[in-house]
Chains A and B, each alone.
Chain A
Amino acid sequence: MKFIIERFDPDQDQKPYFKEYDIQLEPSDRMLLDALIRIKSIDDTLALRRSCREGICGSDAMNINGKNGLACITKVSDLKEPVKLRPLPGLPIIRDLIVDMTQFFKQYNSIKPFVINNDPPPEKERLQSPEERLELDGLYECILCACCSTACPSFWWNPDKFVGPAGLLTAYRFIADSRDQAVNERLDNLEDPYRLFRCHTIMNCVDVCPKGLNPSLAIGKIKEMMVRRGV
Chain B
Amino acid sequence: MAIPVRKYDAVVVGAGGSGLRAALQLSNAGLKVAVLSKVFPTRSHTVAAQGGVGASLGNMGEDNWHWHMYDTIKGSDWLGDQDAIEFMCRTAPEAVIELEHFGMPFDRNENGTIYQRPFGGHSSNFGEKPVQRSCCAADRTGHAMLHTLYQRNIFANTQFFVEWMALDLIRDIEGNVLGVTALEMETGEMMIFHAKATLFATGGAGRIYASSTNAFINTGDGLGMAARAGIPLEDMEFWQFHPTGVAGAGVLITEGVRGEGGILLNKDGERFMERYAPTMKDLASRDVVSRAMATEIKEGRGAGPNNDYILLKLDHLGPEVINKRLPGIREIALKFGNVDCIKEPIPVVPTCHYQMGGIPTNYKGEVVVPKAGNVNSLVHGFYAAGECGCASIHGANRLGTNSLTDLLVMGKSSGDSMIQFIKENNTHLDLPKDAGAYSAARLVRLDTQKNGENVYEVGNAMRQTMQAHCGVFRFPDMLQKGVSKIKEVAERAKSLEIKDKSRVFNTARIEALELENLIEVAVATMISAEARKETRGAHDRADCHDRPGFVNGRDDENWLKHTLWYKDGNKLDYKPVNLTPLTVESIAPKARTY
By a beta-carbon cutoff of 8 Å, the part of chain A in contact with chain B is: 9-12, 28, 30, 40-41, 43-45, 47-59, 73, 75, 94-96, 98, 101, 105, 109, 112-115, 117, 121, 123-130, 132-133, 136, 140-141, 143-144, 174, 177, 179-180
Tell me which residues from 105 to 127 in chain B have a Cβ below 8 Å from any Cβ of chain A.
105-114
Chain A-chain B contacts (Cβ-Cβ < 8 Å), number: 146
> Is B293 in contact with chain A by the CB < 8 A criterion?
no
The reply to whether A48 and B507 contact each other, CB–CB distance below 8 Å, is yes
Which residue of the partner chain, among B42, B152, B335, contacts A55 with CB atoms under 8 Å? B335
By a CB distance below 8 angstroms, the chain A residues around B155 are: 112, 114
The reply to whether A52 and B498 contact each other, CB–CB distance below 8 Å, is no
> Is B578 in contact with chain A by the CB < 8 A criterion?
no
By a CB distance below 8 angstroms, the chain A residues around B111 are: 127
The reply to whether A140 and B48 contact each other, CB–CB distance below 8 Å, is no
The reply to whether A179 and B103 contact each other, CB–CB distance below 8 Å, is yes
Instruction: List 6 A-B residue pairs with CB atoms under 8 Å apart, sorted by A's residue number.
Output: A11-B503, A48-B507, A54-B332, A58-B42, A114-B152, A125-B101
Which residue of the partner chain, among A11, A128, A141, contacts B502 with CB atoms under 8 Å? A11
Interchain nearest-CB distance for B473 vs A (Å): 24
The reply to whether B251 and A54 contact each other, CB–CB distance below 8 Å, is yes
Q: A47-B500, A129-B110, A177-B103 are in contact. List 11 more A-B contacts (CB 8 A).
A: A9-B502, A11-B503, A40-B508, A51-B216, A54-B336, A94-B186, A124-B113, A128-B112, A133-B108, A140-B105, A140-B144
Which residue of the partner chain, among A41, A59, A133, contacts B43 with CB atoms under 8 Å? A59
Which residue of the partner chain, among B143, B332, B505, B507, contacts A141 with CB atoms under 8 Å? B143
Which residue of the partner chain, among A40, A52, A130, A143, contacts B215 with CB atoms under 8 Å? A52
By a CB distance below 8 angstroms, the chain A residues around B109 are: 130
> Is B97 in contact with chain A by the CB < 8 A criterion?
yes
By a CB distance below 8 angstroms, the chain A residues around B102 are: 114-115
Interface string of B152-164 (1 = CB under 8 A from A): 1011000000000
Tell me which residues from 495 to 526 in chain B have a Cβ below 8 Å from any Cβ of chain A.
498-500, 502-508, 511
The reply to whether B502 and A95 contact each other, CB–CB distance below 8 Å, is yes
Tell me which residues from 1 to 52 in chain B have a Cβ below 8 Å from any Cβ of chain A.
39-40, 42-45, 47-48
> Is B248 in contact with chain A by the CB < 8 A criterion?
yes
The reply to whether A12 and B140 contact each other, CB–CB distance below 8 Å, is no
The residue on A at minimum CB distance from B508 is: A44
Complex Cα–Cα for A28 and B215 (A): 17
DSSP majority for the A interface? Answer: loop
The reply to whether A45 and B48 contact each other, CB–CB distance below 8 Å, is no
The residue on A at minimum CB distance from B160 is: A105
Which residue of the partner chain, among B101, B151, B332, B503, contacts A126 with CB atoms under 8 Å? B101
Interchain nearest-CB distance for A109 vs B (Å): 6
Complex Cα–Cα for A51 and B498 (A): 20
The residue on A at minimum CB distance from B144 is: A140
Tell me which residues from 322 to 339 in chain B have a Cβ below 8 Å from any Cβ of chain A.
328, 331-332, 335-336
Complex Cα–Cα for A142 and B499 (A): 36
By a CB distance below 8 angstroms, the chain B residues around A129 are: 108, 110, 112
Known interface pairs A44-B455, A144-B42; A94-B505 also in contact (CB < 8 Å): yes
The reply to whether A130 and B39 contact each other, CB–CB distance below 8 Å, is no
Complex Cα–Cα for A112 and B109 (A): 28
Interchain nearest-CB distance for A169 vs B (Å): 12
The reply to whether A95 and B505 contact each other, CB–CB distance below 8 Å, is yes
Complex Cα–Cα for A41 and B456 (A): 6
Known interface pairs A10-B504, A98-B505, A125-B97; A44-B499 also in contact (CB < 8 Å): yes
The reply to whether A133 and B42 contact each other, CB–CB distance below 8 Å, is no
Interchain nearest-CB distance for B348 vs A (Å): 15
The reply to whether B113 and A136 contact each other, CB–CB distance below 8 Å, is no
By a CB distance below 8 angstroms, the chain B residues around A98 are: 505
By a CB distance below 8 angstroms, the chain A residues around B186 are: 94
The reply to whether B113 and A45 contact each other, CB–CB distance below 8 Å, is no
Interchain nearest-CB distance for A218 vs B (Å): 15
By a CB distance below 8 angstroms, the chain B residues around A45 are: 499-500, 502, 508
Complex Cα–Cα for A211 and B44 (A): 18
> Is B375 in contact with chain A by the CB < 8 A criterion?
no
Complex Cα–Cα for A140 and B151 (A): 12
The reply to whether A53 and B42 contact each other, CB–CB distance below 8 Å, is no
Known interface pairs A52-B47, A56-B48; A126-B499 also in contact (CB < 8 Å): no
**Which 7 A-B pairs have CB atoms at the shortest separation, nearest pair first?**
A127-B112, A115-B103, A44-B508, A57-B43, A45-B500, A41-B456, A95-B505
Complex Cα–Cα for A56 and B50 (A): 10
> Is B147 in contact with chain A by the CB < 8 A criterion?
yes
Complex Cα–Cα for A96 and B185 (A): 14
The reply to whether B48 and A54 contact each other, CB–CB distance below 8 Å, is yes
Complex Cα–Cα for A180 and B498 (A): 51
The reply to whether A44 and B45 contact each other, CB–CB distance below 8 Å, is no
> Is B489 in contact with chain A by the CB < 8 A criterion?
no
The reply to whether B48 and A52 contact each other, CB–CB distance below 8 Å, is yes
By a CB distance below 8 angstroms, the chain A residues around B62 are: none
The reply to whether A126 and B504 contact each other, CB–CB distance below 8 Å, is no
The reply to whether B249 and A30 contact each other, CB–CB distance below 8 Å, is yes
The reply to whether A95 and B97 contact each other, CB–CB distance below 8 Å, is no
Known interface pairs A10-B504, A54-B48; A125-B43 also in contact (CB < 8 Å): no
By a CB distance below 8 angstroms, the chain B residues around A105 are: 40
By a CB distance below 8 angstroms, the chain B residues around A53 are: 215-216, 251
> Is B217 in contact with chain A by the CB < 8 A criterion?
yes
By a CB distance below 8 angstroms, the chain A residues around B215 are: 51-53, 57
Which residue of the partner chain, among B45, B252, B335, B504, contacts A73 with CB atoms under 8 Å? B335
Interchain nearest-CB distance for B165 vs A (Å): 13
Complex Cα–Cα for A73 and B43 (A): 16
Complex Cα–Cα for A14 and B134 (A): 54
By a CB distance below 8 angstroms, the chain B residues around A55 are: 331, 335
Central interface residue in B42, B45, B248, by most chain A CB within 10 Å: B42
By a CB distance below 8 angstroms, the chain A residues around B502 are: 9, 11-12, 45, 95
> Is B189 in contact with chain A by the CB < 8 A criterion?
no
By a CB distance below 8 angstroms, the chain B residues around A95 are: 502, 504-505
Tell me which residues from 36 to 86 in chain B have a Cβ below 8 Å from any Cβ of chain A.
39-40, 42-45, 47-48
Interface string of B245-256 (1 = CB under 8 A from A): 000110110000
Interchain nearest-CB distance for B401 vs A (Å): 17
The reply to whether B112 and A113 contact each other, CB–CB distance below 8 Å, is no
The reply to whether B97 and A124 contact each other, CB–CB distance below 8 Å, is yes
By a CB distance below 8 angstroms, the chain A residues around B249 are: 30
Complex Cα–Cα for A128 and B137 (A): 13
Complex Cα–Cα for A201 and B256 (A): 38
Known interface pairs A9-B504, A94-B504, A95-B502; A125-B114 also in contact (CB < 8 Å): yes
Interchain nearest-CB distance for B38 vs A (Å): 9
By a CB distance below 8 angstroms, the chain B residues around A75 are: 335
Which residue of the partner chain, among B45, B98, B335, B456, contacts A52 with CB atoms under 8 Å? B45
The reply to whether B43 and A51 contact each other, CB–CB distance below 8 Å, is yes
Interface string of B566-587 (1 = CB under 8 A from A): 0000000000000000000000
Interface string of B231-271 (1 = CB under 8 A from A): 00000000000000000110110000000000000000000
Complex Cα–Cα for A43 and B498 (A): 10
The reply to whether A47 and B506 contact each other, CB–CB distance below 8 Å, is yes
Complex Cα–Cα for A58 and B40 (A): 10
